[in-house]
Amino acid sequence: MTSASQTRMPAGGVTAPPAGLRPGARAASRRAETRRKWYEIIGLTTPAVLIYVLFVLVPMGFAFYYSLFRWRGVGPPTEYVGFRNYALAFQDPIFLDALRNNAIIVFGSLLIQGPVALGIALLLNRRFRGRSAFRLLVFVPYVLAEVTVGIMWKLILTDGGTLDALLRSVGLGGFVQAWLADLDVVIWTLLFVLTWKYVGFAIILLLAGLSNVPPELNEAAEIDGASWWQIQRHVTLPLLGPTIRIWMFLSMIGSLQVFDMVWVTSVPAVRSLGASATMATYMVDNGFFARLWGYGNAVAVILFVISFVAALLFQRFLLRRDIEGAITRKVK
């Protein structure tokens, strides 16, 4: 037998104060419980907040500060130029070419990687012999280091390299191009290399999303006479929508900030002309190697602002429904 004075657990899971306490004691007990929760929140979040402040916010603040000066990295910055570095960036045709190349990579990744990854993921989601081996093969390029992939493709695509020799051996010598040196071809060559490298990540992400599609829905559609294509279009793809939007977000941000693959694969002389430059490579070329630290920091701030605005707009118009669906609101 339990006495009426013992503590009872309400449906919400929060321990109620003992029924025998006076109103003042109950209020004090609730305040103590609230303080204890806040202490837990502060204790758990403080390390993460400190790391975020020290390694994200503080460097961003320094980058913006140095971007307001003409500074070559020696001694404290003294020549204040205001926002002149930002104006110079948007007046430089090489930076505008880099901005255009980033846009090409963003939209090219979405329009090429997306359909390719979705088609392969739908095929690999079906049961057939050797499916595990195929899944492993499509994911191998993604786990390879960017530097390794860049050097490999540079050797393949260089003038007189493996690809040119292969085309000539099968009688397709007329298709040989200066894949990494032609100013009109190089950005599309880099887009192909980036697609080869990162399409495996999209496939694995979509396969994870497909694993969450209830098989009962597909079985019900089959019973109703739907074909395989109709099931994918009307059942699978709508349920795969949140996963596709998450991949689009990651692909967009990664394409805006792409550096290592382009840096290793491209030819410096061609990159300096803007044909294969991105905002990140332009920042390193002008900030680090040209020792224009103030100007390089201005480019870094521009890159951050563009990525931040793109992320906000994507979240506002495409991820809003997914985010709202994941938040549990208090029912009044």
One domain, residues 23 and 114: no
One domain, residues 156 and 43: no
One domain, residues 91 and 161: yes
One domain, residues 131 and 182: yes
One domain, residues 23 and 98: no
Can you give the pLDDT of all 332 residues of the chain as single tens digits?
444 444 444 444 445 555 555 666 777 777 788 888 888 888 889 999 999 999 988 999 999 999 999 887 777 887 888 899 999 999 999 999 999 999 999 999 999 999 999 999 988 888 888 888 888 888 889 999 999 999 999 999 988 888 888 988 888 888 888 888 888 899 999 999 999 999 999 999 999 888 888 888 888 888 888 887 888 888 888 888 889 999 999 999 999 999 999 999 888 888 888 889 999 999 999 988 888 899 999 999 999 999 999 999 998 888 777 666 544 444 44
182 domain-assigned = yes
184 domain-assigned = yes
Q: How many domains does the chain have?
A: 2
80 domain-assigned = no
Residue 175 sits in a domain whose CATH number is 1.10.3720.10
Q: Which of 309, 311, 281, 286 is nearest to 297 (CA)?
A: 286
192 domain-assigned = yes
Return the structure tokens found at 214: 């209830």
One domain, residues 272 and 174: yes
| Residues 89-134 pLDDT 10s | 999 999 999 999 999 999 999 999 999 999 999 888 888 888 888 8
107 domain-assigned = yes
One domain, residues 99 and 212: yes
Cα–Cα distance measured from residue 294 to residue 71, given in angstroms and rounded to the nearest whole number: 5
pTM score > 0.85 for this model?
Answer: no
98 domain-assigned = yes
Convert the chain into a string of H (helix), E (strand) and C (coil). Answer: CCCCCCCCCCCCCCCCCCCCCCHHHHHHHHHHHHHHHHHHHHHHHHHHHHHHHHHHHHHHHHHHHHCCEECCCCCCCCEECCCHHHHHHHHCHHHHHHHHHHHHHHHHHHHHHHHHHHHHHHHHCCCCCCHHHHHHHHHHHHHCCHHHHHHHHHHHHCCCCHHHHHHHHCCCHHHCCCCCCCCCCHHHHHHHHHHHHHHHHHHHHHHHHHCCCCHHHHHHHHHCCCCHHHHHHHHHHHHHHHHHHHHHHHHHHHHHCCCHHHHHHCCHHHHHCCCCCCHHHHHHHHHHHCCCHHHHHHHHHHHHHHHHHHHHHHHHHCCHHHHHHHCCCCCC
- Residue 132's domain comprises 86-317
Cα–Cα distance measured from residue 189 to residue 178, given in angstroms and rounded to the nearest whole number: 10
One domain, residues 103 and 163: yes
90 domain-assigned = yes
One domain, residues 123 and 180: yes
One domain, residues 130 and 187: yes
One domain, residues 100 and 11: no
34 domain-assigned = yes
One domain, residues 90 and 30: no
